[in-house]
């Protein structure tokens, strides 16, 4: 196919196959500056690892271009370090209009059965249906097009399995860009250093973290169980005025990053972080807390007794769990029944849907007010 054009909805031109010259990144600006008359500036360049593909004008004099390139690059210490080839390019005028679904359709030639994308800092994590992946080469082409369309993204990874293990880690495969898993993520005026392969972090909970922070009252002592790299801890300390925020996290890699994140956000005086198992921490901690956050939907209910033990006489617990809409009220009743023997009065202040986990399964946060009965 020569100079083939693909369309979306039979109207909008998306990509063009065009002859290009492939050079190393460090020479790309030099080529642009001195050989601009050969370059098709209506098309975006492609970045492929350490190389840049520069689209050429149709009908340009390749013999003259080859001679000019050889002379130019030789002056810069590189003899014949270029290659002519054909590649797919996106038109500049519509490049920023392309959604991930449009990019997928354009590269794979069919709509995606499932296309999930999480952006953590400058890392994009893709989730695709295995049946949609025609080949490794096409998958990498899609990742390269993603990089070219979203300039703030420097790395594209593929999620190859669900979260698993004690620390809820996900299996990831490198596709394109810079091969890394550590990035700086910004959220509500806070900055987090995150390792997406070795720690748990969800950018989808950004609004929920801010919601919790805005509920914290002046002078409260707040405990965040399973605190990870400290997103709840930092957002609460940044956007409310607590006396103290304590984070407890068992994953040593997440704890190390949490310590860095507290320093990055200049919040150290009001924050304490512990690398410990929550059940063990409950045994040794003698203080009580006015608000306890439990952002571990699969297992939080197993730590309710520990939360009650560390609660002040009147406190609020933010308990996260997975449930369908139909099963939620039954689960709430079971939770309240399980705590009856602890001599506490419970009131459900709010139930908030904080994202979808799977088909008809949602992440919920139960805002529960707890009042301990006075012993006679």
What is d(CA 17, CA 40) in angstroms, rounded to the nearest whole number? 12
pLDDT of residue 95: 44
Reference 212, options 269, 287, 295, 274; nearest CA is 295
CA 149 – CA 15 distance, rounded (Å): 12
271-275 and 244-249 beta bridge pairing: parallel
Contact 31, 21 (CB under 8 A): yes
- Which pLDDT value is given to residue 92? 66
Domains belonging to the chain, first-starting first, are 5-94 (3.30.70.2580), 98-180 (3.30.300.110), 203-372 (3.40.50.150)
Cβ atoms of 46 and 144 closer than 8 Å: yes
103-158 tens-digit pLDDT: 888 888 888 888 889 999 999 999 998 888 878 888 898 999 899 888 889 999 99
Q: Which ranges of 89-190 would DSSP assign to H, the alpha helix?
A: 92-95, 100-108, 136-149
Q: Could you tell me if 44 and 89 are in contact, meaning their C-beta atoms sit under 8 angstroms apart?
A: yes
Measured distance between the N- and C-terminal CA atoms of the chain, rounded to whole angstroms: 87
**Residue 282 · residue 215 · CB < 8 Å:** no
pTM above 0.95, yes or no: no
3-state secondary structure of 124: strand
Q: Where are the beta strands (DSSP E) in the chain?
A: 5-8, 12-24, 46-48, 51-55, 82-90, 115-120, 123-128, 155-159, 172-177, 182-187, 190-195, 221-225, 244-249, 271-275, 289-294, 311-323, 344-358, 361-372
Q: What pLDDT is recorded for position 2? A: 38
Neighbours of 327 (CB within 10 A): 12
For the chain, which ranges sit under pLDDT 50?
1-13, 94-95, 376
Half-sphere CA count of 226, side-chain side, radius 13 A? 21
Q: Map 27-65 to HEC letters.
A: HHHHHHHHCHHHECCCECCEEECCEEEEEECCCCCHHHH
Helix (H) / strand (E) element for 328: namely helix 328-338
As a whole number of angstroms, the distance between CA 149 and CA 129 comes to 22
Long-range contacts of 218-223 (CB under 8 A, 24+ apart): 218/242, 219/243, 220/289, 220/290, 220/291, 221/246, 221/287, 221/288, 221/289, 221/290, 221/291, 221/312, 222/246, 222/289, 222/290, 222/291, 222/292, 222/293, 223/248, 223/289, 223/291, 223/292, 223/293, 223/310
User: What pLDDT sits at residue 9?
Assistant: 35
Pairing of strands 123-128, 155-159: parallel
Mind listing the pLDDT tens digit for each residue in 295-314? 999 889 999 999 999 999 99
> What pLDDT, on a 0 to 100 scale, did the predictor assign at position 59?
83
């Amino acid at each position: 196919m020569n100079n083939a054009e693909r369309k979306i909805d039979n109207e909008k031109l998306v990509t063009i196959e065009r002859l290009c010259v492939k050079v190393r990144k460090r020479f790309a600006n030099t080529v642009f500056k001195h050989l601009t008359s050969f370059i098709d500036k209506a098309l975006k360049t492609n970045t492929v690892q350490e190389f840049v593909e520069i689209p050429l004008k149709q009908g340009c004099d390749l013999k003259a271009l080859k001679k000019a390139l050889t002379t130019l690059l030789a002056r810069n210490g590189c003899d014949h370090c270029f290659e002519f080839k054909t590649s797919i390019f996106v038109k500049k005028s519509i490049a920023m209009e392309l959604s991930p679904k449009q990019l997928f359709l354009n590269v794979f030639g069919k709509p995606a059965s499932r296309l999930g994308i999480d952006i953590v800092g400058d890392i994009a994590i893709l989730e695709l249906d295995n049946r949609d992946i025609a080949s490794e080469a096409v998958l990498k082409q899609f990742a390269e097009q993603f990089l070219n369309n979203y300039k703030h993204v420097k790395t594209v990874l593929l999620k190859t399995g669900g979260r698993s293990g004690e620390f809820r880690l996900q299996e990831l495969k490198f596709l394109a860009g810079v091969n890394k898993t550590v990035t700086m993520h910004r959220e509500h005026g806070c900055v987090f250093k995150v390792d997406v392969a070795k720690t748990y972090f969800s950018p989808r909970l950004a609004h929920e973290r801010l919601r919790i922070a805005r509920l914290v009252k002046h002078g409260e002592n707040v405990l965040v169980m399973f605190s990870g790299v400290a997103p709840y801890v930092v957002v609460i300390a940044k956007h409310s005025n607590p006396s103290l925020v304590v984070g407890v996290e068992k994953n040593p890699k997440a704890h190390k990053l949490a310590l860095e994140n507290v320093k990055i956000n200049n919040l150290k005086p009001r924050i304490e972080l512990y690398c410990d198992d929550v059940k063990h921490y409950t045994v040794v901690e003698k203080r009580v807390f006015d608000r306890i956050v439990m952002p571990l939907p699969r297992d939080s209910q197993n730590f309710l007794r520990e939360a009650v033990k560390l609660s002040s006489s009147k406190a609020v617990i933010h308990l996260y769990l997975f449930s369908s809409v139909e099963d939620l009220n039954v689960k709430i009743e079971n939770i309240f029944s399980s705590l009856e023997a602890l001599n506490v009065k419970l009131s459900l202040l709010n139930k908030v849907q904080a994202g979808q986990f799977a088909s008809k399964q949602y992440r919920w946060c139960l805002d529960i007010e707890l009042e301990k009965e006075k012993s006679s």
